[in-house]
Amino acid sequence: MIKRAWTWVLHPPVAGPRAPIVIRMMAGAVFFWEGILKFVYANQGVGRFTKLGLPFPVFTANFVGGLEIVGGLLLILGLGTRLITIPFIIEMLVAILSTKPRLFLGTLPLPPPPVPPQVGIWAVLHEIRSEYAQIMSCIFLLISGPGPWSLDASLRSGEQGKRDSVIEATARRPPLTVRRPSEGEESWSDARRVVRR
């Protein structure tokens, strides 16, 4: 079961439409620049995580920022696509659950949105749009794979090429023939029978 799951994650389908590159570029670029922002502006990284009351805000902000930079580049390149979407889905769920219920109740420690609605369901629906788009993009890539214009596809075609060359080399090898001993000659099986006695 676990082996099948790892195989599913590490060997995504790479045939099919080329359109996943658009989703990869969009989601990957947003994660990439949001990760950079967490290091450049304290209010987007450590400051935000501290106000939200997340544990170990310095470590958490740096970890999430690094994950977004590296993972964003991996999505853009289409390398390990299914694997990197899993932590991104978890990250988006944590982002939603750590801010949106408090925004709904009006108890969010961050500044409220600049224009109405500032609390309630409409404020949540308005503010959740980025996380929603990112999580849906990651779910799409998790299900469909990176598409044929990706490094995952290039690596898979390289593996397939190696397999094909091994199969072709095996097919070119002359078949093994079994020579039967002529009358009077002793065969290996006859010799073995004599030794066993």
pLDDT exceeds cutoff 60 at 155 = yes
Q: What is the structure's pLDDT at 182?
A: 65
Q: Per residue in 66-93, pLDDT tens?
A: 999 999 999 999 999 999 999 999 999 9
Domain residue extents for the chain: 2-155
pTM: 0.77
Q: What is the structure's pLDDT at 197?
A: 57
pLDDT exceeds cutoff 90 at 104 = yes
- Kindly state the percentage of the chain with pLDDT values over 90: 63
The rounded distance, in Å, linking the Cα atoms of 95 and 67 is 14
Residue with tokens 């002793």: 186
pLDDT exceeds cutoff 70 at 167 = no
Q: What is the structure's pLDDT at 14?
A: 83
Omega of the bond leading into 148 within 30 degrees of 0 (cis): no
Of 164 and 112, more confident: 112
Q: Per residue in 108-137, pLDDT tens?
A: 998 888 888 999 999 999 999 999 999 999
pLDDT exceeds cutoff 90 at 8 = no
Average pLDDT of the chain is: 86
